[in-house]
Amino acid sequence: MSAAHLTALQAAASSNEWAAIFPEIILAGLAVLLLVFELVLPGPQRRLIPAFAMIGLIGVLVGLGLNFHTAFLDHDSFGGLLHHTAGTQFMRVFFVLSALLVSVLGTVTFKRQPAPRVEFHHLVLVVTAALMLLVQSRHFVMFFVALETVTVGFYVLVSYFRTSAASLEAGLKYLVLGALSSAILLFGLVLLYGVAGNRALAGATAEPMRFDALRAFLGAHPDNFLANVGAVMVLAGVAFKIGAVPFQIWIPDVYQGAPTPVTAFLAVASKAGGFAVLLTLALSVFDPLRAVVVPALSVMAAATILFGNLAALRQRNVKRLMGLSGVSHAGYLLLGVIAAYREPTAVGAVYFYLLAYLLAAFAVFAVMAHVSVGDDADQSLAPYANLARERPFLGLILAVGLGSLAGIPPLAGFLGKLLVFIAAFKAGLYGLLVVAVFGVIISIYYYFGWIKAAFFPTTSAPLAEGVPAAPAASRVGVLAGTAMIVLTVASLVLGVYQGPLGQWFLSQ
């Protein structure tokens, strides 16, 4: 080994700040520990393993909250593989909170579905750690490895109910289409690597997979055809993860067939991870290519908003409805990403929107987990008739959650949309803003159709013949009930008062 190579390795090793990824290390260790516990603990005591996983997640969440502004912010680590910012720190908290709520939903769902519980919580922990590393990646090798770890974990989670044909079918569709999106993304990376590393071109770099080095090269060659094609293909791979048109085709079937907690995990955490990555790629790495990227994202945003809302109008299966409405939310978030090119506050608006979406979506999915009877994939609107009368607590949670998703004031979802729309207006995106407002108007119809089913049955007679009574819903336990109350109150409070948190979002 030459002296130069040895010096480079020593320099890379000196930047290995293990404390910077301590939360991810804890989650990975905890995931392994769960499997060990399953091997060594006697049968009755294995029921405590999911509780141990949730306690670990709470500990990591508290640790991240107490050390939000760490010494590693705005610094690179591991030879430039990772970069730590306030935005990535927020996303780490976001993913751990999502994992905790998914675990809580799992305790409800697995009471009725015979499936391994320990492995479920193990996979949730692994996927969460990978998502946290993904949003901190500043090197495409690290980015791709973290992304594929997340994707492979979801392949298993989507098809987790092995006795359900719908779950297995959803897993197969996600596998095939996910592999296609990974191939598109990888081919784009190959093009970027080949172009940026070509010594025949001026400004070629020895490390074409580093985000900063690639951005410098693209700045010197913004009109390079292969570089533009590679960037578009990488963004197409990311668009699959967020469910943007034309890469949304998998969402209705996969959301319906996947277990309800996994559907929530996909709808919230996976989507949020995709948008955190998209912000970094679009605004940093591919910023020199904005002449190509902005029109592509603009067309994608408009099509995503219209398709998601129009397709959701005729849905009777609530899991498919949540999936298609999630497509429309991806369109609104894309609007924020595009606005961020001209309006700096748009980045904070996207973060706030994601938080509001987490609070509302998990509240709705929690109600779905309790109302679901029989096949988890077959969740129609019919069982929600008279829900508010028979189960007022679930009815209230559902109404607040759907109201926030629809953007009804004074809920957090309204403020999230308002902040994104204001940023788009300041950025001069008037055409997209008209499309977005039209989409919001359409969404009110299907969200309130769901609320109407729960609060206003089609007949005025109490439990008249032909009107199904509220289903034999699962009893709301202390853990799940507490989680739903916290989510609902947070949606209400955050829509009225943001305090220091609002100032932080605006400063991003």
Give the tens place of pLDDT for each residue, 191-227: 999 888 877 776 667 788 888 888 988 888 888 899 9
What stretches in the chain show pLDDT beneath 70?
Answer: 1-15, 69-71, 202-204, 374, 457-474, 508
Tell me the C-alpha distance between 168 and 438, whole Å. Answer: 36
Tell me the C-alpha distance between 175 and 474, whole Å. Answer: 32
- Give tens-digit pLDDT for 381-407: 888 888 888 888 999 999 999 999 999
Tell me the C-alpha distance between 327 and 488, whole Å. Answer: 23
Is residue 208 within 8 Å of residue 192, measured between CB atoms?
A: yes
Q: How many Cα atoms occupy the beta-carbon half-sphere of 505 within 13 Å?
A: 22
Tell me the C-alpha distance between 157 and 129, whole Å. Answer: 15
pLDDT of residue 468: 46
pLDDT of residue 346: 92
Whole-structure pTM value: 0.92
Q: Is the peptide bond before 44 cis (omega within 30 degrees of 0)?
A: no
pLDDT of residue 15: 63
Virtual torsion, Cα 474, 476, 478, 482, nearest 10 deg = 130
* Total residues found in the chain within this entry: 508
Is residue 447 within 8 Å of residue 405, measured between CB atoms?
A: yes
Q: What is the DSSP letter of 469?
A: P
Tell me the C-alpha distance between 100 and 347, whole Å. Answer: 25
How far from 344 is each of 35, 71, 336, 505, 508, CA to CA, in Å?
Answer: 45, 25, 10, 11, 7
3-state secondary structure of 305: helix
**Residues in CB range of 98: below 8 A, 6 or more apart:** 128, 265, 268, 269, 272, 358, 362
How far from 331 is each of 299, 328, 441, CA to CA, in Å?
Answer: 10, 5, 14
How far from 454 is each of 193, 321, 408, 492, CA to CA, in Å?
Answer: 54, 16, 18, 20
Name the nearest CA neighbour of 454 among 507, 363, 377, 390. 390
Tell me the C-alpha distance between 300 and 294, whole Å. Answer: 10
Name the nearest CA neighbour of 91 among 122, 119, 120, 128. 128
Token pair recorded at residue 299: 């067309």
